Structures are given as C-alpha cells and as structure tokens.
Amino acid sequence: MNFTKHDIKQTKRPFSVKTLARRGVWDSGSKTPVFPEGRMYFDHCEFYRRGRKAAAIVAHLYNVPDDIHTVAAQNGLFANVDPVPSWYSDNCTVIIYTPIKPE
C-alpha cells in the first residue's frame, strides 16, 4: 500500500487495535492481543505508521464478514473495504483499518 503522499510508512513492528484506535505508539505493559476479534477480521496484516504513531492496519481477508463495519467501530476504527486487488492473494479482499479518532 502506498501512503507516501500522507507520509505513512509500513513498519515491521505490529501494534494492537487499541494502539491504532488511539493513534498511539504502543500499549505500555498491555496484555491486549493484537487482534481482539481474531483472524476473521484481521488476517495477513501489514502495519503502517505516520512518524512513530500507528496510522493503519491493512488486512487481506478471504471472506469479508457482514458485520465488519460494526466490529471495527466497536474497536474505535473505520473499516474501508478497498476495491483494489489484494497483493497477498487473488482470493483476498483488502481492508484498510484507520482510527475514528481525528488527528
């Protein structure tokens, strides 16, 4: 995913949904799983940051759950079902999770 015009870069260090929702850097001492809702909503993920702060999680899902927008909102996120082809697999749909919280 190319977020360069927004100064968003891919990182190898994963972060939790909680960190993304608050646009944080990390969760100090948190035992929060990276994906509280499991692989049904977050699979084959890539993590993106703006500077040091969490900016987006891009998931590649084989099946998009009907309630994806509801589950994302419950976790403080928007879920954008992107029409671009998945670069992970032709059988996947790209989902871009971003925080609801404004910058």
Cα–Cα distance, 91 to 27 (Å, whole number) = 33
- Mean pLDDT on 71-87: 92
Q: Is the pLDDT of residue 99 over 90?
A: yes
Bridge partners, residue 82, by sequence: 94
**What tokens appear for 60 in the block?**
């590649």
Q: Is the pLDDT of residue 42 over 60?
A: yes
Element (H, E) at 77: strand 77-85
Q: How many degrees, rounded to 5, is the angle at CA 44 between CA 38 and CA 46?
A: 105
Cα–Cα distance, 77 to 69 (Å, whole number) = 8
Task: Identify the pLDDT of residue 27.
Answer: 74
Map residue 65 onto helix, strand or coil: coil
- Mean pLDDT on 1-27: 82
